[in-house]
Amino acid sequence: MNTQLFQKDFISTQDWSVDDLWTMLELALRLKGDFAAGIPHDQILRAKTLYLLFFEESTRTRNSFETGITQLGGHGIFLTPKATQIGHGENAKDTGMVLSSYGNAIAVRDCRTDIGQKYLYEMASHAQVPIYSMQDDVDHPCQAMADLMTLVELFGRNLRGRKFVISWTYAPKYVRPLSVPQSLVMLMPRFGMDVTLAYPEGYHLMPGIMDIARQNADIAGVKLEETHDMDAAFEGADFLYPKSWGPIMVSEDEPVVEAMAAKNTGWRVTQERMNLAQKHAVYMHCMPIDRGHEADGDVIDGPQSVIYKQAENRLHVQKALMALTMGGRW
């Protein structure tokens, strides 16, 4: 267990070693157990401040971070570009240096394509406190760690040889970023899982991210495969993570996006598709879900679904992250 994580940024899981990530998971599991037993945590980050800067709205991310810092004894301050001088053009350096002179960590959600993660790293290069990604255009590290925590709780710490499927699904609404599938394709091979990425033509991920994912798989001695066949991907799977993302590597133009999606309405999760996987297979999703488009209701609300456990674990993973990097006492 590495306890030398004070002041460490968390912008991508790739920036942390596997041992570091296990440290986060172990503390998250401990804090979750204490929380269930009614053991308070309000002295761990007593009187410390977390700034929460949102370029996009959220449900799970905002509430899990605000609740988490409160339970640890600190205080979260919600910020938006419009409510700060960022909306008037203040840059990442100035914002980061000023906020870091006031508080103890800065968390940022910025999914602007080709801007978000660069903004976070720019802020981190100047700020004097840890910077967290609450999701950007490249990675969603807290979500991926909550997903991993869920699998560890359900299937144990040895996940080697398990088949983890990331699959695109149809959704008619806004263009979702690539960060969730990219966070998963990078992280899960590092913990011994064989990963299959399934998507229709045009929905490929960032080439640089795929290079990292392949390197991670090679180092771990596991398989990383891509397919354009959703059924083939589901066959024999242990963990199924089907969700929508935009064809961002092709276009973000709304008419083009809608036309591409309309050609692939069959990419949805039904119970028949779930039956192609192992009997113990679980259905996963980061939420929000386009019910009736991405997946049928009997799958989302069925016995194989673990979506609410994933959402719950955001709280505990993020509490562990804050405790480790903000100088917590426990």
CB 97 within 8 Å of CB 127: yes
Which two three-digit tokens encode residue 93?
């350096």
The closest alpha carbon to 138, from 248, 5, 20, 261, belongs to 248
State residue 173's pLDDT score: 72
State residue 327's pLDDT score: 87
Name residue 198's beta-bridge partners. Answer: 167, 227
d(CA 211, CA 207): 6
- CB count within 10 Å of CB 27 equals 22
Low-confidence residues in the chain, pLDDT < 50: none
Are 13-139+314-325 and 141-310 in the same CATH fold?
yes
State residue 172's pLDDT score: 86
State residue 330's pLDDT score: 60
The closest alpha carbon to 164, from 220, 245, 203, 113, belongs to 220
Q: State the pTM of this model.
A: 0.97
Residue type for 17, please?
A: S
**CATH dotted code for 13-139+314-325:** 3.40.50.1370
CB 82 within 8 Å of CB 54: no
CB 322 within 8 Å of CB 69: yes
The closest alpha carbon to 46, from 75, 24, 6, 68, belongs to 75
The pLDDT tens digits for 89-129 are 999 999 999 999 999 999 999 999 999 999 999 999 999 99
CATH fold for the domain made of 141-310: Rossmann fold (3.40.50)
The closest alpha carbon to 284, from 296, 297, 298, 299, belongs to 299
The closest alpha carbon to 264, from 293, 288, 290, belongs to 293
State residue 270's pLDDT score: 98
Which two three-digit tokens encode residue 119?
């903004």
Domain spans of the chain? 13-139+314-325, 141-310
State residue 4's pLDDT score: 87
